[in-house]
Chain A
Amino acid sequence: MAAAGPSVFLLMVNGQVESAQFPEYDDLYCKYCFVYGQDWAPTAGLEEGISQITSKSRDVRQALVWNFPIDVTFKSTNPYGWPQIVLSVYGPDVFGNDVVRGYGAVHLPFSPGRHKRTIPMFVPESTSKLQKFTSWFMGRRPEYTDPKVVAQGGGREGENAEAERLKAAQLMLPFSSQ
């Protein structure tokens, strides 16, 4: 046992970040990463990814479609710290600066099968109106030091986030354990 290491179960996730609804923005791309507990370790696949830039569809839906695949396998000994996928969406502002348009996180589904999740996205707000203006003007909006912060529980006091639009991410999760 000691030689083989502790027995683990595997969580295989494949799916895709399908599309998003950001009615006000266009030409967005998205990044994903995973946040997981100490007992978890990725064994295969990509832990992080950055998608292509997509434009709004020309129809009524105005969806931003990425269809950006996710394929990762985790192993773990403990369900505690179940992985969360953290998505952050970026896009250019009027001056062409890349600014963040939304953060969001969701736990990976717990049950095998096909799941579809819609993640509400939000961005931190500036502390004051003046800062809001300057950040807009300078193209340096408030950002998280690390997008993973959104998946962590503690220390969110004083944070002042503006709930933004919704974003759909579809994840398909065949699940196996051993």
Chain B
Amino acid sequence: MNPKEEKVKIITEEFDENDEDTGVGSQKKTSKMARQERKKRLPAAGPEEMVSENPHLGNQPEPLQEDSDTRPLSMTTRRGPRSLPPIPSASRTGFAEFSMRERMREKLQAARSKAESTLLQEIPTPRPRRFQSPGEKELETEFGAEPGEEAQKTEQEDDSQSRSRVKFRDSVRKIKTKPPVPPGFPSAEEAYNFFTFNFDPEPEESEEKPKAKNRDGTTQEEEEGEEEEPPVQGIHKTDEQLLISATEAEAFLWGLDHAAADFVAVRPADYESAHVRLQMEKELLFVPSRLTVPTYKKLPENVQPRYLEDEGLYIGTRPDVPRTCQNIMENRLLTQEPGRRWFGDDGRIVALPNPIKPFPSRPPVLTQEQDFRAELETLYKKAVKYVHRSQHMIGSGDSPGNFQLDIDISGLIFTHHPCFSREHVLAAKLAQLYDQYLARHQRNKAKFLTDKLQALRNAVQTGLNPEKTHKSLDTTQKTINEYKSEIRQTRKLRDAEQEKDRMLLKTIIKVWKEMKSLREFQRFTNTPLKLVLRKEKVDQKADEEAYEAEIQAEISELLEEHMEEHEQKMEAYRAAYQQWKAWKKAQRAKKKKKKQAVEEHPEEEMGEPYPEEDPVKPVPPEPTDRTLMEHQVRERAARSRRRPGEPLLVPELSLAGSVTPNEQCPRVEVLRREDVKRRSIYLKVIFNDKEVSRTDSRPLGADFRVHFGQIFNLQIFNWPESLTLQVYETVGHSGTTLLAEVFLPIPETTIVTGRAPIEEVEFSSNQHVTLDHEGVGSGMPFSFEADGSNQLILMTSGKVSNSVAWAIGENGIPLIPPLSQQNIGFRSALKRADAISSIGTSGLTDLKKLAKWAAESKLDPNDPNNAPLMQLISVATSGESYVPDFFRLEQLQQEFNFVSDEELNRSKRFRLLCLRSQEVPEFRNYKQIPAYDREIMEKVFQDYEKRLRDRNVIETKDHIDPHRAMVAKYLQQVRESVINRFLIAKHHFLLSDLIVEEEVPNISILGLSLFKLAEQKRPLRPRRKGRKKVTAQNLSDGDIKVLVNIIRAYDIPVRKATASKFQQPSRSSRTFSEKHAASPTTHSPTHSADYPLGQVLVRPFVEVSFQRTICHTTTAEGPNPSWNEELELPFRAPNGDYSTSSLQSVKDDVFINIFDEVLYDVLEDDRERGSGIHTRIERHWLGCVKIPFSTIYFQAKIDGTFKIDIPPVLLGYSKERSMIIERGFDSVRSLSEGSYITLFITMEPQLVPGESVREKFDSQEDEKLLQATEKFQAECALKFPHRQCLTTVTDISGKTVFITRYLKPLNPPQELLEACPNNPQATAELVARYVSLIPFLPDTVSFAGICDLWSTSDQFLDLLAGDEEEHAVLLCNYFLSLGKKAWLVMGSAIPEGPTAYVLTREQSHYLIWNPCSGHFYGQFDTFCPLKSVGCLIGPDNIWFNIQRHDSPLRINFDVTKPKLWKSFFSRSLLYPGLSSVQPEELIYQRTDKAAAAELQDRIEKILKEKIMDWRPRHLTRWNRYCTSALRHFLPLLERSRGEDVEDDHRGELLKQLGDYRFSGFPLHMPYSELKPLIEAVYSTGVHNIDVPNVEFALAVYIHPYPKNVLSVWIYVASLIRNR
């Protein structure tokens, strides 16, 4: 509390008092005194006392007073001079107290009487104010209690004093001057006030005092003492007074309102006592207690808390939460949610293990303000010593001190060595036996057992003596039995021991004898060994007696034993006999029942002798024979025991013997000894598989002992895993050999230097050594016998005596790694238990050991840290040691699968998503895959599933002809596989795909661009700029348009007047002449008759249809019309997918149809002619040009004059070339027949055609050849970048193949060759026609987005579909086989663009063949569609055109001129003789005629249906008569290949259908599918005639060629009956 604040408060209080004093007079003072007095006294006196025991009060004040006085006093001593002097004397206080007490009493009485009266009216509510913070209390002293006091005062004074008044006064008084203090001796009251209430007349003093008080009162005790009073007072007084005062105060307040208002309008702040507020808050708020909740509250009734940890279950570390927080939470949970689900079995809140890792898993986030560089700065740290295999390391928490292992290697003894002589072998054996003997002797087990036996016997004796033991017989009997059994066992053991002792002794003697004989035999001694048998005399008699007694005792015991046994057996026998008897009886009873009861007695007698089968009658055991037993015992004793009287033999082995010196030995022995001398031995100490030190090399002694006596102090850092000594032997100066390895145990941690015993560790080696001297060698059989029997094989072996111990440091602390202590005190250091350190690495492989360790160390099986170990152990201990030998990448995948795989597969949505992401064609651009399974229709998958199903099933419905169906399927499969191949490649982007960047400028471009800067912005003669290309990614429907500019046409057929039958002869003559003269010199008079009449010959217009959108031009007039119109057709990509690959696969064609518009006057009545015109417009199809969309797409623009595909027979029309013969131009044109149209087609905007795949394909070509091709192509491209140069192509399996391999003479079908055997030209034409009948299918359509694929000719014929290349290759091959000189021409043509043609060389000139149409052109034919020639390809070379021009008109085809043609294979690179990829021979099957006929019928039917479909509003009538006439005519057309038959046919038709106006034409095309046929028929627009009485005729003819090549003729016609 701020002392200053306090002070001020107190001062105001004083003022208050003063004011009262002055204002009210002395009476008030006394009251005040009383009040003060009460203040002081109350804390000490109990509240009850206060009220009831007023008389006692007299005694009380004194200590109180003292209390109040002494307190400041005690402080003053500390405070020093500043504090007040201890003024008040005892007398004064006594006096003051006395008077005050009296007054007090009076007052109290008066107050009580008054209060009681008021209490009767009002029931006071006691207010518990005890538990309040000091601050609040203080507040109350000012506001709560003070008014109470005031009220008290008012009561006494009958003055109107109120709370507000007081407050008001407080403020007023402050301004007022203080009243003067009366001088002189202070009254008692004043004095008291002075000391107790800090009342001071002088302001300085008054200030000082409270200050002092406060200073020491910082302890607040004083203040509390004071300030606690009011509430206390309140409690007691309020019983009578406080509440009254409150009400009164209220009343006064009202009464005084005016007075107060007169001064200042000051109102008290609305005050709600803290107590009331607390009360209210208590209702609204819930404050959970901080106290611990007893466990029983948290658990269901009658449930004991269960501690899982105690039960051995793993519960992780709980997160660290302060206890109080937990308590609060628990209390809250208990109150709010009575259900106990928040609490676990142990009564604590359920909590997951602490998720906080001890280390941060994320690097600190870089704040933006920070400089990145600062974070990236290199930090230099001190190099850390490399610690290898950290898991074996001593824990990091341990002191990293060095530890020391002392290895003391004292020596080495060989128990066998190759250099051992026979004697040595025996000596070693003897020594070994003697050692054994000594050891046995030392233990003297036989003696011990004998003594034990004796003791037991005595015990039995005493136990049997009934006088001595008065205990219950049962127990003695029991113990005796136990003893007896013990005696039996002990005796057996003793016998065995004695026998062993005896055997050992015998063996020792035997070996010694052998050795002696050997020494004698070889006449020298090698070993100083000498066995002395010391005989100890025994007292014969006593010995004999003892022996006999022993035997007797044994016999008696045995007898007893046997008796017992006999007894038992007898017991068993009796029982068995009883059983048997009972059974017998039962048997008899049975028999009795069967027989008669009369024969009871005889049967009973008879019963016994009956031999029973089932239970054998028991035989009583025989009693033991004593003599036999005695015999047995004696025999055994003789065998194992010293006979009585025989002297006790004690062998003593000494080295006292002398070794024969070398000179007395035979040569072999000398050699052996020398060999031994040459040998020396040393040891290597290997610690943790590393050599740490080695002993000195010591020579091998003659006794085969090596003494080292070296101590190695290993300063170690790692926990020792293994300690090995390697024994090396050096022979002379030659190399050392590793004899053996000795594995030393790591010492226990208790073993320290000085306490370690010397241990002998045996070793042995399995090496085979044969020596050429007396040494027996090692691993070699040898014998002591002369005859070589009884062979022995001994291995080198020996013992190393050593001791290993932990060293002791300077201060006596063993230098042991602390980790090792875990071995001992495992529990304590459980946390740091490490399997490896405790059981060593070898333990890890030994699973049992590991399991044992795990069990011992009490590993928590539920701790996730131990999971792998536990699993390993469980696998190991369960017997099946199945350790998965595979590695799994996502071993937790299974756990994270939220549904099973089947369920996932069943999900339609998931499937749809998968298929889409796999880019399955059906779903590639599927948009808005529904969010729920139920919204996905089954039919979504139907197409896809059908396709999958049909992959191998060949279906003929769509394709009519089974072979085509098969081909289509195959094509589909190839396509799929190829697409999959390139799917990844398609996702590859180049930098240029993403980023538009100016190319690296070379100096010319730079100069040009610099020049450009100076260029005019708007030149007067603007140059044409290329259109901007648009990448086909952000396009949508309607963005792309196909623009067709139709400029003009030439030589449109003209109408002929409705000819009569009579004119027929003349016409035929005309046509004849026309055909053969190739130049129309004559024309029929009818024409000339027509023309002058001014009748328009033809009124052609052009209709362009694309994707079923149709536009047409205006109608022009004449056979050479000029339209110059631009038509705009919208383009829609399939599925709205405008990606490159999708655009490439658009198969639609642009049909440009030329029609003749014919006006018919339909006016019935001539009289109306003056007033109205009634004309019917008919349009007659004249021909068409078909341009595939893919061509437009790849070419970007198509510009040129095209030959109109005019049907061979166009009824009602004829060519009118004679009419315009006068023009010079015509003479050239007339060379080629047909009509032409000039077109310009492009797309708006221009699309970037998809580029062919950039991937390099693998190839089987020679690497050199491939390099050469690249070089060749680069050179060509440098010179003529726009000329096509092809050296390698991709075959259908995606491999790069050198192009010439495709060219090879191949036989055309025999049928064609036989057709006109004498006319090679005709044969060639026929072959070309055959090739052209194979349907055309661009590669880009079949293999979207992929480069050209070249199929071989047999593949092509099997597929029956191919590009220009395939056609050209096949045609070229046929020509080659026909003996022509033929080449493949790579160039560009219209409308195809880059394409392949075939060039043949006739006698004097060259012919250019279009393989797709079958037409041929002379080199100088202006209408040849081939516009440029890039290169020529022959079967053995490639020639690139390096002439200035590339138009076939202007170049020379003589490839032998190297200036004109650059050849690939030349003198520098010779033709290596590449084998062809083509088959040896083509095999042609004859096409099934019946199938063709069937197909023909089906096509006809389908087409008829289609035509009817297209005329939904009209009746379609079929003229059968005409149809059959047409059907007859079609084969003729085929035979003549569409030429020259027009007029014959026409005449015939006219003959038959005289009164019909006939308009129709045959269509001819290769057969591939039905759809193109339908499209072709549709595009002619025959069905569009809506004359009411129109009739139709349709005939189909299919001519089969070998290999299923079909030529289809469709004749469509409309007939209108003439009136």
Footprint of B on A, CB under 8 Å? 1-2, 5-9, 38-41, 76-78, 80, 124, 126-128, 130-131, 134-135, 138, 140, 142-146, 148-149, 154-159, 166
Question: B876-916: which have CB < 8 Å to A?
Answer: 913, 916
* CB-CB under 8 A for A9 and B997, given A134-B1006, A138-B1009, A155-B987: no
Q: Which residues of A contact B930 (CB under 8 A)?
A: 6-7, 77
* CB-CB under 8 A for A144 and B929, given A138-B1009, A155-B988, A155-B989: no
On whether the beta carbons of A39 and B1001 are closer than 8 Å, the reply is: no
Alpha-carbon gap, A5 to B733, bound state (A): 99
Closest chain B CB from A163 CB (angstroms): 11
Alpha-carbon gap, A148 to B1001, bound state (A): 28
| Most chain A CB within a 10 A radius of its CB, from B368, B1001, B1009 | B1001
The closest CB in chain B to the CB of A76 belongs to: B928
The closest CB in chain B to the CB of A41 belongs to: B928
Comparing B529-537, B932-940, B1141-1149, the segment that makes contact with chain A is B932-940
On whether the beta carbons of B931 and A77 are closer than 8 Å, the reply is: yes
Q: Which residues of A contact B995 (CB under 8 A)?
A: 124, 142-145, 159
* CB-CB under 8 A for A39 and B927, given A130-B1000, A131-B997, A159-B995: yes
On whether the beta carbons of A144 and B996 are closer than 8 Å, the reply is: yes
On whether the beta carbons of A146 and B928 are closer than 8 Å, the reply is: no
Tell me if B991 is interfacial: C-beta within 8 Å of chain A: yes
On whether the beta carbons of B998 and A146 are closer than 8 Å, the reply is: no
Tell me if B1031 is interfacial: C-beta within 8 Å of chain A: yes
Alpha-carbon gap, A130 to B1000, bound state (A): 8
* CB-CB under 8 A for A38 and B926, given A6-B935, A134-B1001, A158-B991: yes
On whether the beta carbons of B1033 and A9 are closer than 8 Å, the reply is: no
In the A-B complex, the 5 residue pairs with the closest CB atoms:
A155-B989, A6-B930, A142-B997, A77-B931, A6-B935
* CB-CB under 8 A for A154 and B989, given A7-B931, A142-B995, A144-B994: yes
Tell me if B660 is interfacial: C-beta within 8 Å of chain A: no
Q: Which residues of B contact A149 (CB under 8 A)?
A: 994
Tell me if B790 is interfacial: C-beta within 8 Å of chain A: no
Tell me if B715 is interfacial: C-beta within 8 Å of chain A: no
Tell me if B993 is interfacial: C-beta within 8 Å of chain A: yes
On whether the beta carbons of B996 and A143 are closer than 8 Å, the reply is: yes
Alpha-carbon gap, A156 to B994, bound state (A): 8
On whether the beta carbons of B1034 and A38 are closer than 8 Å, the reply is: no
The closest CB in chain B to the CB of A38 belongs to: B927
Offer 12 A-B interface pairs, CB within 8 angstroms, sorted by A: A2-B935, A7-B930, A7-B932, A8-B931, A131-B1001, A134-B998, A135-B997, A135-B998, A138-B998, A142-B995, A145-B993, A145-B996
Given pairs A2-B937, A127-B991, 4 additional interface contacts (CB within 8 A): A7-B932, A78-B929, A142-B998, A145-B994
Q: Which residues of A contact B444 (CB under 8 A)?
A: none
Alpha-carbon gap, A93 to B1151, bound state (A): 51
Q: Which residues of B contact A148 (CB under 8 A)?
A: 1034
Alpha-carbon gap, A145 to B994, bound state (A): 5
On whether the beta carbons of B928 and A6 are closer than 8 Å, the reply is: yes
Q: Which residues of B contact A159 (CB under 8 A)?
A: 991, 994-995
Tell me if B783 is interfacial: C-beta within 8 Å of chain A: no
When the two chains form the complex, which single residue of A40, A127, A142 contacts B996, counting CB atoms closer than 8 Å? A142
When the two chains form the complex, which single residue of B928, B932, B935, B991 contacts A39, counting CB atoms closer than 8 Å? B928
Residues 972-993 of chain B: 1 if any A CB is under 8 Å from the residue's CB, otherwise 0? 0000000000000001111101
Q: Which residues of A contact B462 (CB under 8 A)?
A: none
* CB-CB under 8 A for A126 and B997, given A1-B934, A9-B931, A38-B927: yes
On whether the beta carbons of A77 and B1000 are closer than 8 Å, the reply is: no
On whether the beta carbons of B1034 and A7 are closer than 8 Å, the reply is: no
Tell me if B693 is interfacial: C-beta within 8 Å of chain A: no
Tell me if B1552 is interfacial: C-beta within 8 Å of chain A: no
Q: Which residues of A contact B658 (CB under 8 A)?
A: none
Tell me if B664 is interfacial: C-beta within 8 Å of chain A: no
Closest chain B CB from A83 CB (angstroms): 14
Tell me if B1063 is interfacial: C-beta within 8 Å of chain A: no
Closest chain A CB from B1202 CB (angstroms): 36
Alpha-carbon gap, A76 to B1458, bound state (A): 67
Closest chain B CB from A53 CB (angstroms): 23
| Most chain A CB within a 10 A radius of its CB, from B916, B937, B1000 | B1000
| Most chain A CB within a 10 A radius of its CB, from B928, B988, B996 | B928
Closest chain B CB from A122 CB (angstroms): 12
Closest chain A CB from B575 CB (angstroms): 88
Question: B42-70: which have CB < 8 Å to A?
Answer: none
Alpha-carbon gap, A77 to B990, bound state (A): 33
Tell me if B477 is interfacial: C-beta within 8 Å of chain A: no
Q: Which residues of A contact B934 (CB under 8 A)?
A: 1
Closest chain B CB from A95 CB (angstroms): 11
Alpha-carbon gap, A68 to B368, bound state (A): 25
On whether the beta carbons of A8 and B928 are closer than 8 Å, the reply is: yes
* CB-CB under 8 A for A77 and B991, given A130-B1000, A130-B1001, A134-B1001: no
Closest chain A CB from B1210 CB (angstroms): 51
Tell me if B556 is interfacial: C-beta within 8 Å of chain A: no
Alpha-carbon gap, A76 to B990, bound state (A): 32
Tell me if B1086 is interfacial: C-beta within 8 Å of chain A: no
Q: Which residues of B contact A1 (CB under 8 A)?
A: 934-935
Tell me if B279 is interfacial: C-beta within 8 Å of chain A: no
Tell me if B770 is interfacial: C-beta within 8 Å of chain A: no
Closest chain A CB from B1013 CB (angstroms): 9
Alpha-carbon gap, A158 to B991, bound state (A): 6
Q: Which residues of B contact A157 (CB under 8 A)?
A: 989
On whether the beta carbons of A38 and B932 are closer than 8 Å, the reply is: no
Residues 286-315 of chain B: 1 if any A CB is under 8 Å from the residue's CB, otherwise 0? 000000000000000000000000000000
When the two chains form the complex, which single residue of B927, B988, B993, B998 contacts A41, counting CB atoms closer than 8 Å? B927
Tell me if B925 is interfacial: C-beta within 8 Å of chain A: yes
| Most chain B CB within a 10 A radius of its CB, from A5, A138, A140, A143 | A138
On whether the beta carbons of A155 and B998 are closer than 8 Å, the reply is: no
Q: Which residues of A contact B1031 (CB under 8 A)?
A: 145-146
Closest chain A CB from B921 CB (angstroms): 15
Closest chain A CB from B888 CB (angstroms): 28
Q: Which residues of B contact A39 (CB under 8 A)?
A: 927-929
The closest CB in chain A to the CB of B1013 belongs to: A138
Alpha-carbon gap, A93 to B1031, bound state (A): 27
* CB-CB under 8 A for A131 and B1000, given A7-B935, A145-B994: yes
Q: Which residues of B contact A142 (CB under 8 A)?
A: 995-998
Alpha-carbon gap, A41 to B928, bound state (A): 8
Closest chain A CB from B1603 CB (angstroms): 45
Alpha-carbon gap, A156 to B930, bound state (A): 31
Alpha-carbon gap, A7 to B934, bound state (A): 10
Alpha-carbon gap, A146 to B987, bound state (A): 17
Q: Which residues of B contact A145 (CB under 8 A)?
A: 993-996, 1031
Closest chain A CB from B982 CB (angstroms): 15
Alpha-carbon gap, A152 to B1034, bound state (A): 14
Q: Which residues of B contact A156 (CB under 8 A)?
A: 989, 994
The closest CB in chain A to the CB of B994 belongs to: A149
Question: B1457-1483: which have CB < 8 Å to A?
Answer: none
Question: B912-965: which have CB < 8 Å to A?
Answer: 913, 916, 925-932, 934-935, 937
Alpha-carbon gap, A39 to B909, bound state (A): 12
Alpha-carbon gap, A142 to B997, bound state (A): 4
Alpha-carbon gap, A145 to B554, bound state (A): 116
Alpha-carbon gap, A148 to B1033, bound state (A): 11
The closest CB in chain A to the CB of B934 belongs to: A1
When the two chains form the complex, which single residue of A6, A128, A143 contacts B931, counting CB atoms closer than 8 Å? A6
Closest chain B CB from A50 CB (angstroms): 16
* CB-CB under 8 A for A155 and B994, given A38-B916, A131-B1000: yes
Q: Which residues of B contact A131 (CB under 8 A)?
A: 997-998, 1000-1001
Q: Which residues of A contact B990 (CB under 8 A)?
A: 158
Alpha-carbon gap, A44 to B925, bound state (A): 22
Q: Which residues of A contact B927 (CB under 8 A)?
A: 38-39, 41
| Most chain A CB within a 10 A radius of its CB, from B916, B931, B932, B1033 | B931
Alpha-carbon gap, A43 to B320, bound state (A): 51
The closest CB in chain A to the CB of B996 belongs to: A143
